[in-house]
Structure 1
Amino acid sequence: MALPPTLLTDLPPELLHEICSGLDTRTLLLLSQMCHGLFDVAQPIIFKHQIARLQSLADSGDLIIKPGREIKSLMNGKGVPLEYIHLNLSNSTSWKTQTLHSCYGLFSRMDYAGCTDIHLSLGHAWKHPNQAVSGWFQLAAIMNAIVGNPGSMLTVTGGEGNLNHWPFTYTLLPTNTSSTDPPPPVPPLNSTKNSIPIIHQFLQFFASLRTRFSAPRNTLVGDPTPLYGVRAYHIVQNIKTSPHKLPRHPSPLLHAFHINGNHLLHLPFFSWTIDTINKAPITCLSFEKTDLREQDWGYILQNITIPTLNELSFGSSRVTFPDLQLFLERHSSITILNLMGGTAIGCLVPYSSKKLLPQLVEFAGDPDYTEHFLQPPEAHPDLNFITMSSEFGIISFEYQYSRFDDVLELIAQRKQTMSLVLLLQSEAGLLNWLQNSTCPPVENLNNLEIRVEGRFFVSTAIKRAICDWLEHFPSLFHFKININFDVSDDTLDINTLFWDRFKQLETVECGRNTYRRAP
């Protein structure tokens, strides 16, 4: 029979310690909240339990700390400077409630401004609902402890697609059906029950096509144009709410937030994520590998505003220009914008670049995006660094390489000195473009870097063509490419390829080798 709390507090501390030593961490945490006496007795026991579990995570590689320190020394007090913490919660062992309590103990005891990288794989949690709810709350507590530290940087990676936890649902309705009428028996677009996968994919693609040119709202989305002359439909967007209200930090001090996956944009974390983004003084925000669609981002972009935002990256997220433009108009503080891997859906309002992002310094994106942000020539007077990729979905690489010339022509029209990075994804069509490039002389380009990515075979012919193509840049000072030019091969002699032909070149980096012009 358990002793009442009043009798427990009358016992000697030594006896209390013996009684409490056999209790689990959760019971000890609840017990420690009753009074100061029980708190003083329970904390050393909790501390000992947490160290043991954290050490187990460290031994398995699920907890990595840089610079390396003993777990015990990390939890002894505040003021421990750390550069990086990686926490991997990807199996049933690390997802146990007591393990999460121990992780919370680690983060709540530290006061640091380092990077925290949490890798999540919640498949186990979705399959075990009884464990999931407590795990979600404890994970939110861990993240609250992180974002409460000044200058903190949080990266959350991972996420399996789970349609039951999407924050949005979409329903097709005939145009003669009002939003208050009960919907017809048309399944939501994110429902896979009794549906053929290929048909489901087609419906998703069709829905995105019909809504990508209009900014989504909480009500009707899309225009009521006839569907192949048969019947007109519109799409209703509904915001789902989770019955589990996760705790939120009242005043987060998060500096950088990187969301690389689905979990924080799915239920029950969606509201926590939006609230944290809006409250924290975030200067760097990025989204990667998310499964949200154009109309989903339309809602999200309308409902977040970050006055301190300096760097923004959408990765491969499918964001339409109309929604993106409205967001950027509210965030003139942005200096670095990364749209790499996306697709340019829609277009910017003509001449809007003149007033859009007046402090923009760096831009990354495919040629279609880049071309929009370089017009007119006086747009973004501080823009001096551009990263451009040849990857563009189903469009051929031959076409994409030809689009480089259009962008280079716009760069040549700018007054400021420019730096350019080209990311080449395939050798298909590259040699033909290099040999037949129509771009004019770009006299304001001083720094050029070429990165060859993926399974890319760089032949001797391509290497020579690249060197010939450099003649388009008469003011080039520094050239870098991540492939080696074999100096032992007489046909690829560095002096012949670079120094003798380009008198203004000062530095050439080929692979791991750096060459400098002799004085």
Structure 2
Amino acid sequence: MSASLLDLPNELLHIICQDLDDDGLLHLASTCRRINLLAIPLVFSRCDYELPTSSIPSIHLTSGNIRLLQALSIASFVTSIDVLDFSMIHSPTPEILDAIRALHALVTRLAHLGHVRLLVSDLYAQKTPQNTEKLRPWPHVMAAMLNTAAQRGDCAITIYGGTYAYFSDPRPFRHVVAPVAAPPTKPPQPTSLAQTLAQTLRAVFGRLFRPAAAAGCPPLLPRPPLIQSHANPSPLALPPAARPRLTTLNIHSSLLLHATFYPWTLHTLNSAPLTTLSLDNIDLLHYDWALLLPALTLPALTSLAVLRTAIAVPDLTAFLARHPALRALDLSFHAALGPLVPYAPPHLLPKLISIHGPPDCLLYFLAAGDAVYPDLRVVGIRSHAVSGYDLAQFDQLVACLRLRRVVPRVDLEGRLAARCQLPAGVGGDAGPGEEHDAEF
């Protein structure tokens, strides 16, 4: 008569589990539900982490407790996580692939996942002869996990990043200065009095007997652009999500808009029913944004944040004009690229409820008149700049807010708050429910 491991009582199975290392314990825990319930508590105990219940409000994973991620991926009793923070894993090593695969399994298995935060490290810059082959699947593994999260419908995604090597994963576009034609050479100067006199007579009589110009002016020939741009081909073909249901995406990583991930990101932005989009600390050139923004159409977008990102004022204005459903705009601590005059068109963002930014950006939107933005309830002045220009812009903004028929709630944050104060009569409390609707 044959016997199996499952014929042993739980006490003996528990002793066997205790003698296994972490990898062996995780492999054994994935064999069946009974052993899973015996082995998983040991993994959490070894990580000095209290055994969770079926619903986890928030869990933060670090390099020290990364084993928890693998345990969670097979912990059948955990069915719901509100916030899964994977953004503290900074070691770009081949071992991170196992963690991403475990995260993919967890994203696939959970009945509810509210928000996943992760760090996209530049593994390309970490390649060595020893780990090049091991790191080769990394973009595909990451894209597969993101596709699964994007197709859930209940999961917001925030992607962080650090410094990247552009020589290994370039920006989405290549910009070169067009060659400038050499100026025509001047005719040789006359060397004698007779030559000088002849040249002067030709010039005088040439003007006197020049035929009359035809009616109208000939059309000007188009000048070639000074900057010529070309798309950088993606080194890999990453499969996009078939039917993304993502509604909230926070891109705080430049790598997601570099050549490798750019086609994936562009497809996700244009095909998902996004209502909230945040772009923060993305170091693309403003030439890149001039080509990227016209390729985006987000009809359901209601909240947009653009922070520490070099987007020229005309390009951003044109993008906003194509998204009239926006209700919340956040330009906090944003340094405008280009002149902020003339002011924004009065028909721009007719449903705006909340706007945040430095004084000059706020004036660009609010100085068109008190009838603009009739639903506006919250203004946030957020700036670290305290130059004479910024202080003068703050005074003008305060005068502008005084004239509005509907006085919004006004907040003042950053270093500017240490130098300036809001005078009485500017700002107040938002009405019931207005703050919640206006904030991101």
Structure 1 distance, partners of 2:308, 2:291, is: 18
Higher relative contact order (CA 8 A, sep 6+): 2
Query: Shift of the alpha carbon at 1:424?
Result: 3.8
8 A Cα contact 1:111 1:149, kept in partner: no
Match for residue 178 of structure 2 among 173, 197, 201: 173
- 1:321 counterpart residue number: 313
State the Cα RMSD in Å: 3.9
- Partner residue of 2:388? 398
1:382 aligned residue: 375
Distance in 2 of aligned mates of 1:104 and 1:74:
8
| SS at structure 2 position matched to 1:245 | coil
CA distance in 2, matches of 1:374, 1:304: 26
Letter in 1 for 2:351: Q
> Which of 161, 164, 167 does residue 164 from structure 2 map onto?
161
What residue number does 2:64 align with?
Answer: none
After superposition, the Cα gap between the structure-2 partners of 1:60 and 1:140, relative to the gap in structure 1 and judged at 3 Å, is: farther
Instruction: Give the share of equivalent positions with the same residue, in percent.
Output: 24
- 1:82/1:475 CA distance change after superposition, 3 Å: same
In the TM superposition, what whole-angstrom CA distance separates every residue of 1:177-222 from its partner, at most 9, and x where no partner exists? Answer: 9xxxxxxxxxxxxxxxxxxxxxxxxxxxxxxxxxxxxxxxxxxxxx
> 8 Å contact 1:310–1:336 — kept in the other structure?
yes
Cα deviation, residue 384, structure 1: 2.0
Q: 1:340, 1:365 within 8 Å by CA — same for their partners in 2?
A: yes
Structure with the greater alpha carbon radius of gyration: 2
Instruction: Answer yes or no: is 1:141 the counterpart of 2:109.
Output: no
Report if aligned partners of 2:407, 2:427 keep a CA contact under 8 Å in 1: no
Find out whether 1:84 has 2:93 as its counterpart.
no
> In the alignment, which residue of structure 2 is the partner of 1:44?
31
Structure 2 unaligned residues grouped into runs of 5+:
6-22, 24-29, 61-67, 183-221, 431-440
Instruction: Return the alpha-carbon distance in structure 2 between the equivalents of residues 117 and 385 of structure 1.
Output: 28
CA distance in 2, matches of 1:292, 1:254: 24
Q: Could you say if the C-alpha distance between residues 476 and 345 of structure 1 is closer, same or farther in structure 2, counting changes exceeding 3 Å?
A: closer
Kept in 1: contact 2:58–2:84 (CA 8 A): no
**CA separation in 2, counterparts of 1:399 and 1:256?**
36
Q: 1:251 aligns with which of 243, 260, 263?
A: 243
Q: Note closer, same or farther for the CA distance 1:233–1:334 as it changes in structure 2 (3 Å cut).
A: closer
SS for the counterpart of 1:101 is helix
Q: For residue 279 of structure 1, what is the aligned residue in structure 2? A: 271
Alignment of 1:295 with 2:300, yes or no, is no
Question: In the TM superposition, what is the alpha-carbon distance from 1:92 to its structure 2 partner?
Answer: 4.6
Instruction: Tell whether the 8 Å contact from 2:175 to 2:230 is kept in structure 1 after alignment.
Output: yes
Tell me the number of residue pairs that the alignment of Structure 1 and Structure 2 aligns: 345
1:409 aligns with 2:399: yes
TM-score, normalised with respect to structure 1: 0.58
Question: Hey, what's the Cα distance between the residues in 2 that align with 1:336 and 1:142?
Answer: 29
Do the aligned residues in 1 keep the contact of 2:401 with 2:426 (CA within 8 Å)? Answer: no
CA 1:55–1:101 in 2, change beyond 3 Å: closer, same or farther? farther
**Where does residue 352 of structure 2 map in the other structure?**
360
Decide whether the 8 Å contact of 1:390 with 1:425 is kept in 2.
yes
Secondary structure of the residue aligned to 1:163 is coil
| Structure 1 residue 106: Cα displacement | 1.3
On the 8 A contact 1:89/1:120 being kept in 2, the answer is no
Cα distance in 2 for partners of 1:106, 1:175 equals 56
Per-residue deviation at 1:328? 0.8
Cα 1:233/1:478, change in 2 over 3 Å: closer
Distance 2:378 2:76 in 1: 44
Contact persistence 1:342–1:366 (CA under 8 A): yes
Counterpart residue type for residue 149 of structure 1: R
Preserved CA contact (<8 Å) 1:375 1:410: yes
Give the whole-Å Cα distance in 2 for the aligned partners of 1:161 and 1:234. Answer: 28
- CA deviations 1:34-65 (Å, max 9, x no partner) are xxxxxxxxx738x98xx98x969x9499xx96
Scaled by the length of structure 2, the TM-score of the pair is 0.68
Q: CA deviation at 1:249?
A: 0.8
